[in-house]
Amino acid sequence: MDEIVPVEETDRKTPEIGPLGDVEFREVSSPGPSPLEIIGVCKRFEEGRQALEDVSLRIEKGKFVYLLGPNGAGKTTLFKLLYAAERPTLGELWVNGYEVHRLKMRQIPLLRRSLGIVFQDLKLIQRWTVFENVAFALQVLGRTKKEVLRKTSQALRQVGLEGKGHFSPDQLSAGEQQRAAIARAIVNEPALLLADEPTGNIDLRTAEEIVRLFEEINLRGTTILFATHDEGLAAFLPKDRIVLEQGRIVESSLSGAAGAKLDFA
């Protein structure tokens, strides 16, 4: 399939999300066991101020980590660097063994297939059904029709959207759309799940249900980085936390994350 998943207007000059369908798989050597490692990352946009300043952190396999910070702190920018929609101005990013800061364009789809991503603006394709949106993540991996059907149904069931697969995204409530985006991100059981404000548009009770859902996903072995500006939500289910303010890590419960430099010796 040659479908290109749309990106935000602001991303036009950067590598797009997709095309996902025409690249062969290839093993990429891993620098170590951590699914996510960032070293001294800075991001300055051509227009505007410095969005990230000397950010270093490492997330070990199996962790569930909140990325907290107010509007404009740099959370989405950090995610975009992690899935190579933006390039860092300085620094290194390692994700699932991919050296993201120097990834070639043709390797970007491989990186993204190794991840589950819940985008802040969801990026559901409106002309597709909910089922097709979720199934796409498996189809690009060349899974059989039977497996696509089984796993997509399972993911929809897991997020509580059983029976709504034939709806188009705009026939769903905001909370249900958020769940559909989560189903798409978890359907191929990624080792690392990046969730950018996955509870952004929903009421507190549904948000708490979604946090519980992420906990279940985490208990099955998926490492999670969950961005939210909602301290209350993070307090509801305490986990490791990194706090970003004006592009800098100002607090962290992860060892080595709060300092500007890490000693990896």
Nearer to Mg ion, 41 or 138 (CB): 41
CA dist list (Å): 87 to 15, 20, 35, 212, 244: 9, 19, 19, 33, 19
Q: Minimal distance in Å, beta carbon 107 to Mg ion?
A: 25
Provide the H-helix boundaries in the chain.
Answer: 75-82, 108-113, 130-139, 145-158, 174-186, 204-219, 231-236
Classify burial at 69, counting beta carbons within 10 Å of its beta carbon; exposed 0-12, middle 13-18, buried 19 or more: buried
Q: Does 69 help bind ligand ATP (rule: CB under 6 A)?
A: yes
Q: Minimal distance in Å, beta carbon 30 to Mg ion?
A: 28
Of residues 76, 133, 178, 188, which one binds Mg ion by CB under 5 A?
A: 76
Nearer to ligand ATP, 58 or 75 (CB): 75
Q: Does 232 help bind ligand ATP (rule: CB under 6 A)?
A: no
Stretch that binds Mg ion, among 13-21, 69-77, 158-166, 175-183 (CB under 5 A): 69-77
Burial 253-264 (b: 16+ CB within 10 A, else e): ebeebbeeebee
223 interacts with, out of ligand ATP, Mg ion, none, CB within 5 to 8 A per kind: none
Q: Does 77 help bind ligand ATP (rule: CB under 6 A)?
A: yes
Nearer to Mg ion, 152 or 177 (CB): 177
Stretch that binds ligand ATP, among 75-83, 92-100, 126-134, 255-263 (CB under 6 A): 75-83
Strand ranges for 21-145 from DSSP E: 36-44, 50-59, 64-68, 90-95, 98-99, 115-118
Instruction: Count, in order, helices (H) and strands (E) of the chain.
Output: 7, 10
Q: 36 and 117 in contact (C-beta within 8 Å)? A: no
79 phi, psi to nearest 5 deg = -60, -45
Q: Does 48 help bind ligand ATP (rule: CB under 6 A)?
A: yes
Total residues interacting with ligand ATP, rule: CB under 6 A: 15
79-138 binders of Mg ion (CB under 5 A): 120
259: amino acid identity, one letter: G
Q: Minimal distance in Å, beta carbon 128 to ligand ATP?
A: 25
Q: Does 251 help bind ligand ATP (rule: CB under 6 A)?
A: no
How many angstroms from the chain centroid is the CA of residue 194? 2
112-141 binders of ligand ATP (CB under 6 A): 120
144 interacts with, out of Mg ion, ligand ATP, none, CB within 5 to 8 A per kind: none
Return the number of other C-beta atoms located less than 10 Å from residue 202's C-beta: 19
**Sign of the dihedral defined by the CA atoms of residues 189, 257, 102, 245, in that order:** positive
Nearer to ligand ATP, 75 or 112 (CB): 75
105 phi, psi to nearest 5 deg = -50, -45
Q: Does 71 help bind ligand ATP (rule: CB under 6 A)?
A: yes
**Contacting positions for ligand ATP (CB under 6 A):** 10, 45, 47-48, 51, 69, 71-77, 120, 229
Task: Tell me which residues touch Mg ion (CB under 5 A).
Answer: 75-76, 120
